[in-house]
Structure 1
Amino acid sequence: MSSPAIVPVKLSLTDGDYFTLWAPSWKEHGAEWQAFLGDDKGLFLFTSPARMLAFLNSGEKHDLRSHPKWSAFEALPADKIEPEKKENHDIIGAPALLAGRPSYENVSELSRIFRVTRSLAEVTAADDAVLFFASHSVLGNVHRGAEHYAGDHGMGEWTAVGRTVLTNWRQVVESLDAQVRVIDVDEAATTEAQAEIDAARISAAEARAKAELAAKEAEEQADPYDSSIWGLAGIDPVKITLQGKSVYTLRTYLDGNPIFLGRYGEIFTFPTTRQLSRWLVENDAHDLAKVSTWEQVMTHANAGELDVIVHPDNQYSYQGLVADIEKGPEAVDTAQMSRGYELFADAADWAADDSLNSYLLANPRMQDFLSYMLGSTGTAGYVPSAPFTDHSTAWRELEEMLLNRFSKF
């Protein structure tokens, strides 16, 4: 995430805490710029965020109006004016950080203080502060982070930074103090601005609560399968129940085309999920091995962590369909039939043979019946009529065609 172009900051100097806006760096017309809220006479500082907002609401002129992102900042809610915790810069208290060890917190905070102090010095032409940073190269290593001070010479260099700051920091702070110009703002306008900030805080809190609730509800409604290895890899275990038996295999789709665990048109099937997972560890001569996410599955399989989970959407049962078709359309579960036909078609498409289409072309009554039952177009005016024995027989033959593709049953 990129840093905001204009940042509210809190600056602790000799006479207290002040608030202003900082534009750390931007490029315009090939040149790099930095700025604080102010004008050609100097920096604007405020004793509270509400006073700063009241000043901005007044329409008074200031240099940041020419910033390319000013309009975007101005359009933000009123609490935009309050600094984040990391933008609270205790400039006068910097030496205290160096009295401690170069921990992540100490080095990070000191780095932020150095950065804003140097920017302040350069923007306000605080000569002593500018000279301090220009004259001591050892200060630049603070921006490298705590890792820089973790080596054999780390503590020695951290101590050197401490001595440099201890000797010169008072002069640095005093040079900045001389640039302080606290802007006086009308009390009534300040009170109104504070009300705007409070309202924005409440609105933001309500939005966060709403987002958290939505996220919690989404988490509760999320399908655990989506975060399983199968969901992440996009390869699904499939359970097929046919003629009173169940077998398991795997299937995925690549560019909308089905790919089964198998080879040369034969679908490798297993009576249990345990046998399926064991077989995968010792065999890689199958079409799924070419799928880019297959390695993810095998990493779990080789570690003994592959739990074969069949999602309800990938369970296909043909139980009772032949008998129901023989009774008539009203007895048939069309959802069950549709899913069964989906598997017929997927298997034929993967095997790249024309067996299914050829069978239906040779049995136009069955083709019309399926179109009618599955809601396909092209059957206007067609209504199935008894007897339905031919249809049930044809469906049984389609089941046999699928079964003949299985390696085991």
Structure 2
Amino acid sequence: MARPSIVPIALTLDDRTGYTLWAPPWEEDGEEWQAFLGNSEGETAVVHLFPTPAALAAYCRTSTDHDLADHPVWPVVAGLGAADVTPDDDHRYDLDGVYDVVADNPDRWAVEELAATFEMTGRLAECCDTAPDDEDDDEDETAFESVAELMAAPEVAMLGLGIDAFVGRAGEEAWIRLGGTVDELWEDVLEELEEHLDWTGAGTVDPDDYPPAAESAAVVDDGADLDDADVDDAVPDTAAPDDADETGARDDTRGDDTAAAAVPTSTISSSSRLSADPAAVAAAAGFWEGVGILPVEVVVPEGAGLTLRCYVEDAARFLGADREVFLFHTPAELTAFVRGEEDHDLTEIASWPEVAETGTTPLPVDQDRYDLVEVADVLAEVADGAAGLVDHSVLVQPVEGVRDLAEYAGLTRVEELLGTGTPLGQAVARAERDPRAALRAEDAARLTGPWDELVGEVSAALVFRD
């Protein structure tokens, strides 16, 4: 099992977003555990939620009276700032938005979002379910009957197979059945969860402190990098008394048949330069996926740029020419080029006329952002002592982008650096096999040089256009 870690997450429910921490399953003394920032002692187990990452960070600095207090990496988490406990986009779960997702036609983002949301719902139920086991009954009692029924639905299990499970006639019917299951159960699921969500942050905040969900997202996007004074002032000092219980009750998840999701544990913020409203990105995604040409963001030391990419017979092809990829600093600059007359390698794609005429802004989804600078920063921080906060999954998505760029530009040196016998190749293979495996300081130090060389090779094939 991977090294123990703690991940910031955000939950949106009833038009408010709360921030908390989740410890994915880890093994200790031969047993498997998982936990949330909350308290499972007493009649009702609760998960503490906070209106801002700053309020969450302040609580972590001052309190040990919770279920994560004896987690192996809690001493590290207790010293983190607001930016470090701000969830990335992969760990934001919009429980309010489930109805809207199932009401639309399925695409890969909808399937992935529902799969992640339902899995986190199941995790919350597992940790908050304190119903006693009855050895005389064939089935254990649970306080989350609707959650259990939802997770047992075949259509929910199909979400783990990706979008391929919902294509064709049979897939369309499965999606319709999934919508029916959500209509029948989701309201009851939310009622069961709500009883266990503490919107007072263990008494440190007031529920009225929560802004509307959309406003909360905008505040976090614009100001996550708060200084220490901001964090210290975010909530009152609620340090636990000297005799506070630091054992922290944890949920025993032995025997759980649901496989744990492979989730990144990096607390280092992305250096992506493009800021866009998630709703706008989702709205634009339908057009770009429909034409089969997707906006892509690439971040290298020279800057961040947008381009377009498609696949022709499974080979990546970019907006560019002569094995050079054209990058643009803004969506507006990319749009202006697309509407121009200059020849390039995408003009012969059948759907290109639709792209040239569209008014849809080219906004990349998170899966099509490749931040090569962030990887270099992560490797440097891990080598400098941040081991335990980052796992191998940090390599997966950037390397996918690198391989596409190298294939298009004919960068043979990149393929050599990613060969199976090289340090980078071995690390990438580990990331694909076991993404939650912790990245050790010695691993990061060994990868820094090869990664810098790889980024240099890729950067040479990128041309920033005015």
Could you say which TM-score interval applies, normalised by the shorter chain?
0.3 to 0.5
What is the TM-score with the length of structure 2 in the denominator?
Answer: 0.40
Structure with more helix by fraction: 1
What is the TM-score with the length of structure 1 in the denominator?
Answer: 0.46
